[in-house]
Structure 1
Amino acid sequence: MKKYRKVFIFILIIAVGLFLNRELQWSSYLKDSNNLKTIISFVHDNYILAMFLYLVFTIIGSSILALPGVTFAVVASGLFGPWIGSFLCLIGATIGAVLSFVLSRYLLKDSIEELVKKNKRLYSIIFQVDSEKEMLILMITRILPIFPFNLQNFAYGITNISIVKYTIGTFLFMIPGIILFSIGTEGIINRGDRANMLFIAVLIVVLMVIIGVHLYKKYKMLTKKEHNER
C-alpha cells in the first residue's frame, strides 16, 4: 500500500504539471516560431526574471517532465549566450537532477529499480557496494553520452551514494557536456564565429570521449582486480 501511495504522489505531481501546461498553453506557445522574437525581446527587457523562469523550466523539465538533457543547454545558449547560458543550465540541471534523486529515493524506489534494470549497461555499472568507486562511476556516467541523463538522475536515488556526494559530483561532471552543447548551439546560431565555436565543440567531444573511455577502462581494471583478490 505504501508503494502505491508513493507512485500516486508522483503521478499527481506530473498531472499538475500537465494541467498547468494545458491551461497556460506553454507547449503551443513554444511551438510557434513567431513567438521566438517575443521571447528574446522579453529576455532583453526582463533579464533577471528571464533567468529565474529559465531555471524553473529546467528544474521541472529535467525532473518531472524528463525532457532530454540537451534541451536545456540549447535553450540557455540561444537566450543568454554560451557562457552565461552554460552557468544557468548547470545550476538548473543540477537542481533538477537532485530533485529526481530525492523523488526516487523517498517516493519511487521500487518502481525506479524495475525501470533501471531494463537498461543493462547502466544497471551493471551503477549499482556498486564499494563506496570508493562511487565518484568514479558518477564521473563515467556523466561524461560518456551513452547513459541516459534523466534515467541516471532517478537511478542514483536507489543506490547507496550520499546526496552530498551525488550533488557535488553531478555539478562538476556535467560541466563539459553543458559547455559542449552551449558552444555548439552558439556556433550554429552565430555565423560570424561559427568556425571557432564548432572547433571548440569538436575538441571538447574528443576530450570527453578520451577521458570517458580512460575512466571506464580504469573502472573495469579495478573491478577485475577486486574479483581476482576474492
Structure 2
Amino acid sequence: MPKQPRNPNSESKAARPPAWARVAAFVALIAVLAILNARFGWSETLMGTDAVARMQDALAAHPVEAAITYVALSVVGCVVLALPGIAFAIAAGVVFGPWLGTVLCWLSMTIGACLSFLVGRYFLKDAIGPRLARNSTLDRFLFQGAGKSDVYLLAVTRLVPLFPYNVQNFAYGITDIGFVPYALYSGIFIFPGTAMYTLAAAGFTAGADAGVCFAVAALLLAGSLAIAAVLKRKAHLE
C-alpha cells in the first residue's frame, strides 16, 4: 500500500500549542514580569531621576556602547515592562541631543513595535481574533480591510495616538495586517511623534539651538495632525 505524502503545514499546525495554551502562557509571562519588576524595581531603575545622569556618563566614556545600551533598554522597557515610550524619547533628547537622539529613539520604538506585534500575533491572534471578528464593525475594519486600509489605520493611530503605544503594538498582532507592511508603515508614521518629543526635550538643553528644536517639534505636531486628518477623511470616503 503506497504511503500517503506528508503535509508539512498540517504537521506544523499540530506542533503548535493550542490557542488557549498560548494565551495562558502570555498571561503567565506578564504576571511573572510584573512580580519581578515589583521585586527588583526595574522600572524605577530605567525611569529614575539618576538614569539620565548615568547614561550621560556612559555617553562621555563610551559613545557607541551608550547608544547601543539606550536602544536595548528602550526596547526592553517598552515591550517587556510596558513603560511609556515618551519617557525614552525625552531621555534620548536630553542625553544624545536632538538629531542623534531622534534617530536612536525612532529605531528603538520601531524595533519595540515589531517585537510586540510578533508577540501578539503568536500568543493572542488565534484566540482573540475570532472573537473580535464576530463584531461586524471590527471585522470590517481589522480583518476584511487588511491590505486596503493598513496605511490609514496605522497612520491615524500612530500620528494621533488614541490608545497607548504599547497596547497598539500588541493589538495589531491580532489583526490580519501582514508583518512587512506593519513594520514599514509603523516605522514611517512613528517617526514624526518620536522626533517631536525628542526635539522638544532636547530644546531644554540645546542652548542656542533651542529655538530650532522647539520650532521643528511644533511643525511636526501640526503636520502629524494634518496628515492624520486627511488620511482619516480619505478612509471614510473610500
Shared fold by TM > 0.5? yes
Q: Partner of 2:121: helix, strand, or coil? A: helix
Q: Which runs of 5+ in 1 are unaligned?
A: 118-122, 223-230
Contact 1:116 1:155 in 2 (8 A): no
Q: Partner of 1:127: helix, strand, or coil? A: helix
In structure 2, how many angstroms separate the alpha carbons of the residues matched to 1:95 and 1:79?
20
- Quote the residue 1:67 is aligned against: 83
Contact 1:116 1:151 in 2 (8 A): no
Q: Partner of 1:159: helix, strand, or coil? A: coil
In structure 2, how many angstroms separate the alpha carbons of the residues matched to 1:146 and 1:138?
11
**Cα 1:22–1:104 shift into 2, 3 Å:** same
**Cα 1:137–1:54 shift into 2, 3 Å:** same
In structure 1, how many angstroms separate the alpha carbons of the residues matched to 2:47 and 2:111?
26
Once the two structures are TM-superposed, the CA of residue 126 in structure 1 deviates from its matched residue by 5.0
Once the two structures are TM-superposed, the CA of residue 177 in structure 1 deviates from its matched residue by 0.8
Deviations 1:95-137 (A, max 9, x none): 11111111111112367669999xxxxx699514132221222
- Tell which deviates more after alignment, 22-31 or 139-148: 22-31
- TM-score with structure 2 length normalisation? 0.78
Structure 1 vs Structure 2 CA RMSD: 3.1
- Quote the residue 2:234 is aligned against: 218
| Aligned residue type for 1:83 | W
Structure with greater Cα Rg: 2
Aligned positions of 1:3-152 closer than 5 A: 3-14=19-30, 17=33, 21=37, 26-30=42-46, 33-34=49-50, 36-109=52-125, 127-130=142-145, 131-152=147-168
Q: Which runs of 5+ in 2 are unaligned?
A: 1-16
Once the two structures are TM-superposed, the CA of residue 92 in structure 1 deviates from its matched residue by 1.4
Aligned length: 219
In structure 2, how many angstroms separate the alpha carbons of the residues matched to 1:152 and 1:221?
24
Deviations 1:161-197 (A, max 9, x none): 1101111111111111111011100112334332222
Q: Verify: 1:180 aligned to 2:196, yes or no.
A: yes
Contact 1:58 1:72 in 2 (8 A): yes
- TM-score with structure 1 length normalisation? 0.80
In structure 2, how many angstroms separate the alpha carbons of the residues matched to 1:75 and 1:111?
37
**Cα 1:205–1:124 shift into 2, 3 Å:** farther
Once the two structures are TM-superposed, the CA of residue 45 in structure 1 deviates from its matched residue by 0.6
Q: Verify: 1:197 aligned to 2:213, yes or no.
A: yes
- Identical-pair percentage: 32
| Aligned residue type for 2:169 | N
Contact 1:128 1:134 in 2 (8 A): no
Deviations 1:174-223 (A, max 9, x none): 1111110111001123343322221221121111111111111111111x
| Aligned residue type for 1:52 | I
Contact 1:140 1:215 in 2 (8 A): yes
Contact 2:117 2:172 in 1 (8 A): yes
**Cα 1:34–1:22 shift into 2, 3 Å:** same
Once the two structures are TM-superposed, the CA of residue 26 in structure 1 deviates from its matched residue by 4.0
